[in-house]
Chains A and B, each alone.
Chain A
């Protein structure tokens, strides 16, 4: 039976063409060139298509991400056959698969959301319907509908991979493709729809005057808790969920949830564990802003507005995704020589330091080359767009192009695949309960709490010392 790309990512061996850091540096250079060229062509306000309006560009960026996730994680490259995946030149594969993903993206946005939902269900998905509203300009009609469509992608970018990673594709894991892909797609699309309606639909409902109280809950139920009626509160935790899913899949090797031996307990713990960790991140990144800039003031604008602070939580979260993926894709998920918990901790620390560095560098310099505006809180300053665009290019490079040009792909032998499974299980089995581990765990928890306390104590002073925008 044709396997398409089932387990393709696990069963390929990526071999460095050169030793040392050369492949990583070469791929970084290659992907950055692609990034900047495509940024200029598609997004840059000084470039050709100028889609960074921002929501038009943001919508396409988010949708490219989710379509690639669907192709690889849900459909295992279906309808592309295994032989084609293994034998085609990476550059050809990259171009064909990217073109395929753009085609799917176009059908979803223009066919499903604008064409079907926007014409027969919810007007705000289609700018042509929205513009019929007296007073609304074409520009904002497009921006509003793009926001609605992109938020669906943002939600799906969390739920779809979470179902594969946390729920381990169950209960459809044994199905052949494309039956498995469509089952996962329908299930996660359905869940994304529910999440969309209880998070972003009330946000869209109060874009109109008077508030559309009979079609969406107004004021939204989160107003008191989030100190704003804006749906940015949800965008923040949803984006944190997306980031945590990929941290878990890459640098965390699904640890510690992979220690749970009961399959359904493990799956459910992982699925909800992602949400719990994401909310911890969500609250912390909001608190960070309160510590550095002061308490948010409802009703004000920009950096002091709660709605923008929540949006910035999402933006900050994405800064963690970039180094984590780089570490995983181009640095072989370094380090690997210690026990899994120690490896995971070291990678997390590296990611944390790199994310903070990237954040500082981004806000210090991005306006000089991306055509964006200087400052943190400009309504058009959306670091999520360039960062997710870069992530998309890395995903295309790793998933579609087998890390070309720094690496070449060779299919693993049956023995190598088996050895991988054994090694992975050995890593998990290596973490067994013992009194020493218990003592370490207790000390670690204390150290973690202490680290948190020191961080929040030191943050205001550190931030003042760095003065990012000077």
Chain B
């Protein structure tokens, strides 16, 4: 065979091979990638079943679930400022107002105007806020008191979140007696679910009654958020909880999820309680990671009574602005499979979503729609729920 012929053969072979590689790759991609056979290759995770202990019960008091009072006003502000990705400290919302108008604020400018009043002279701070902030009467806040009864009958109290508006949250704290509990050091720690305005910016309201309270924040806070703790005059311990499981007490653990959240916030901490004889209870601020993700994480990570999901309390972050998306229907359709026995939802769950839960026959514990909560589908302000 001549050299030329060999060369032709080699070139033809390469042309065929180059074409064949493409055909083979795309054929395999198309035929295998979404076939049932692929499932054999999924990463197999062994359940860790970490023992976090058990507690006898928890009793949750809804201090406030109404983070803002008028949805159209809040979302209108967001829209005019440039949407859901704008840094929350730039909106010029209370308390960080600089008088420059919507979307033109900053933490530094806002804090400079109120720092001297924090945390004890909140009435004076509020007067400054009224002058400099956009829509100062729209904010409310999210906060709840968790009373956990240990197996020996000892009771411990924790706060989850501290709301937003100084004025509204102080009223709510007084209504539920939180002010007295804090003064008496009955509440041993404040857990911040995430850095969002409606869960965190009311921090001085807690600190005015107990500036030494231990604070647990999730990993992922931005510089402004970390500085806020100092600027509010906090004198106690601050624990930055790393992503993953964190055991607090027998039967009580938190879990930090590294999730990106709107308004430039990152990371959320949610709470697990293992109730003796009942099962797992999830207590959440907003649950940006999704309640099913939260439940699935529990399934993978920890051991809980009867391998049973017992209850949910808190915001489930499905349609916080009463918006809707087909993916939310995926949640409504799927939640039933998890078998939760008591669901107390509110805040960012969305009233429409809560009603869809009720229509789907889920065991939603309805509320009284008092203290400006909008609908009985929510476990509203001043309502309580007990698990165990």
**Cβ contact within 8 Å between A299 and B322:** no
The segment out of A5-13, A94-102, A429-437 that lies at the interface is A429-437
Q: B28 near A229 (CB under 8 angstroms)?
A: no
Query: Is A302 in contact with chain B by the CB < 8 A criterion?
Result: yes
Contact A339 B14, beta carbon cutoff 8 Å: yes
Q: Does A89 touch B at the CB level, under 8 Å?
A: no
Q: Tell whether A449 pairs with B27 under 8 Å between CB atoms, given A301-B288, A374-B260.
A: yes
Interface string of B332-375 (1 = CB under 8 A from A): 11110000000000000000100010000000000000000000
Contact with B along A99-135 (1 / 0, CB 8 A): 0000000000000000000000000000000000001
Known: A139-B76, A297-B296, A440-B15. A287 touches B289 (CB 8 A): no
Chain A residues near B84: list those with CB within 8 A: 53, 379-380
Is the CB–CB distance between B83 and A229 below 8 Å?
A: no
The reply to whether A447 and B327 form a contact with Cβ atoms under 8 Å apart is: no
Tell me whether B326 is interfacial, beta carbon within 8 Å.
yes
Question: In angstroms, how far is the closest chain A Cβ from the Cβ of B351?
Answer: 9
Stretch in contact with the other chain, from B30-38, B136-144, B147-155, B207-215: B30-38
Number of B residues near A (Cβ < 8 Å) is 78
Contacts of B293 in A (CB 8 A): 297, 300-302, 304
Contacts A45-B83, A139-B321, A443-B20 known; A305 to B25 CB distance under 8 Å? no
- Is A436 within 8 A of B27, CB to CB? no
User: Is B3 an interface residue, CB under 8 A from the partner?
Assistant: no
Q: Are B296 and A300 in contact (CB under 8 A)?
A: yes
Q: Would A434 and B12 count as touching, CB distance under 8 A?
A: yes
Task: Report the Cα distance A344→B19, complex, angstroms.
Answer: 9
CB contact under 8 A between A295 and B39, given known A341-B18, A436-B12: yes
Q: CB distance A373 to B85 under 8 Å?
A: yes
Interface positions of B from 256 to 283, Cβ below 8 Å from A: 258-262, 264, 266
A281 to chain B, nearest CB (A): 7
> A280-B33, A290-B38, A448-B27 are contacts. A229–B330 as well, Cβ < 8 Å?
yes
Selected from A255, A299, A437, the residue in CB contact (under 8 A) with B12 is A437
Flag whether A145 is at the interface (Cβ < 8 A).
no
Q: Which B residues touch A201, using CB under 8 A?
A: none
A50-B83, A339-B11, A341-B15 given; A441·B26 CB < 8 A: no
**CB < 8 Å neighbour of A139 from B27, B79, B296:** B79
Q: Which residues of B contact A308 (CB under 8 A)?
A: 327
A45 in complex: contacting residue of B10, B82, B259, B333, CB < 8 Å: B82
A231 lies within 8 A of B83 (CB): no
Q: Which of A173-181, A202-210, A415-423 contacts B (4 or more CB under 8 A)?
A: A202-210
Cα–Cα, bound, A137→B11 (Å): 64
Q: Which residues of B contact A294 (CB under 8 A)?
A: 42-43, 45
**CA distance in complex: A136, B79 (Å):** 14
Q: Once bound together, how far apart are the Cα atoms of A192 and B13, in whole Å?
A: 41
Question: How distant is A179 from chain B, measured CB to nearest CB, in Å?
Answer: 37
Say which one of A79-87, A392-400, A452-460 lies at the interface with B: A452-460
**In angstroms, how far is the closest chain A Cβ from the Cβ of B320?**
11
Q: Which residues 200-223 of A sit at the B interface, judged by CB distance below 8 A? A: 203, 206-209, 219-220
Determine whether B290 belongs to the interface, using a CB cutoff of 8 Å to chain A. Answer: yes
Known pairs A290-B42, A371-B85, A375-B260; A439 contacts B28 (CB<8 A)? no
Query: A320–B352 Cα gap in the complex (Å)?
Result: 40
Q: Are B16 and A378 in contact (CB under 8 A)?
A: no
Contacts of A375 in B (CB 8 A): 258-260, 266
Smallest beta-carbon distance A39→chain B, Å:
13
A46 at the interface (CB under 8 A from B): yes
| Contact A438 B327, beta carbon cutoff 8 Å | no
What residues of A have a CB within 8 angstroms of the CB of B43 in the complex?
Answer: 291, 294, 460
Q: Give the shortest distance, in Å, between B336 (CB) and chain A (any CB).
A: 9
- B28 with A437: CB separation less than 8 A: no
Does A404 reach chain B (CB closer than 8 Å)? no
Answer whether residue A277 sits at the interface, using C-beta atoms and an 8 A cutoff: yes
Query: B223 at interface (Cβ–Cβ under 8 A)?
Result: no
Taking the closest CB of chain A, its distance from the CB of B294, in whole angstroms, is 8
Is A264 an interface residue when CB atoms closer than 8 A count as contact?
no
Contacts of A456 in B (CB 8 A): 41
A139 and B15 form a contact (CB under 8 A): no
Q: A250 at interface (Cβ–Cβ under 8 A)?
A: no
Docked complex Cα distance between A287 and B291 (Å): 24
> How distant is the Cα of A89 from the Cα of B18 in the complex, in angstroms?
42
Q: Which residues of B contact A437 (CB under 8 A)?
A: 12-13, 15-16
Q: A139-B78, A206-B329, A230-B327 are in contact. Are A452 and B28 (CB under 8 A)?
A: yes
| A46 adjacent to B86 (CB under 8 Å) | yes
Could you tell me the distance in whole angstroms from the C-beta of B257 to the nearest C-beta in chain A? 9
Whether a CB of chain B sits under 8 angstroms from the CB of A2 is no
Bound form: Cα–Cα A294–B45 in Å? 9
User: Does A451 lie at the interface of the complex (its beta carbon under 8 Å from any beta carbon of B)?
Assistant: yes
- Is A228 within 8 A of B78, CB to CB? no
Contacts of B352 in A (CB 8 A): 135, 209
Q: Which residues of B contact A256 (CB under 8 A)?
A: 19, 22
What does the 1/0 interface line of B151-170 toward A look like (CB < 8 Å)?
00000000000000000000
Query: A161 at the A/B interface (Cβ < 8 Å)?
Result: no
Q: How far is the CB of A457 from chain B (nearest CB, A)?
A: 8
A430→B288 CA distance, assembly (Å): 57
Residues of the A chain whose Cβ atoms lie less than 8 Å from the Cβ of B326: 203, 206-207, 220, 228-231, 307
- Residue in chain B with minimal CB distance to A255: B19
When chains A and B are docked, how far (Å) is the Cα of A56 from the Cα of B84?
12
Of B71, B76, B82, B296, which one neighbours A50 at CB under 8 angstroms?
Answer: B82
Pairs A–B under 8 Å by Cβ, sample size 18: A50-B103, A52-B83, A53-B79, A135-B352, A209-B324, A302-B259, A305-B330, A342-B18, A373-B85, A378-B259, A378-B261, A436-B9, A440-B15, A440-B16, A443-B13, A444-B22, A444-B23, A457-B41
Q: Which 8 A-B pairs have the closest CB atoms?
A: A444-B20, A448-B24, A440-B16, A299-B334, A50-B82, A375-B260, A301-B290, A280-B30
Residues of B within 8 A of A (CB): 8-30, 32-34, 38-39, 41-43, 45, 71-72, 75-76, 78-79, 81-87, 90, 103, 258-262, 264, 266, 288-293, 296, 317, 321-327, 329-335, 352, 356
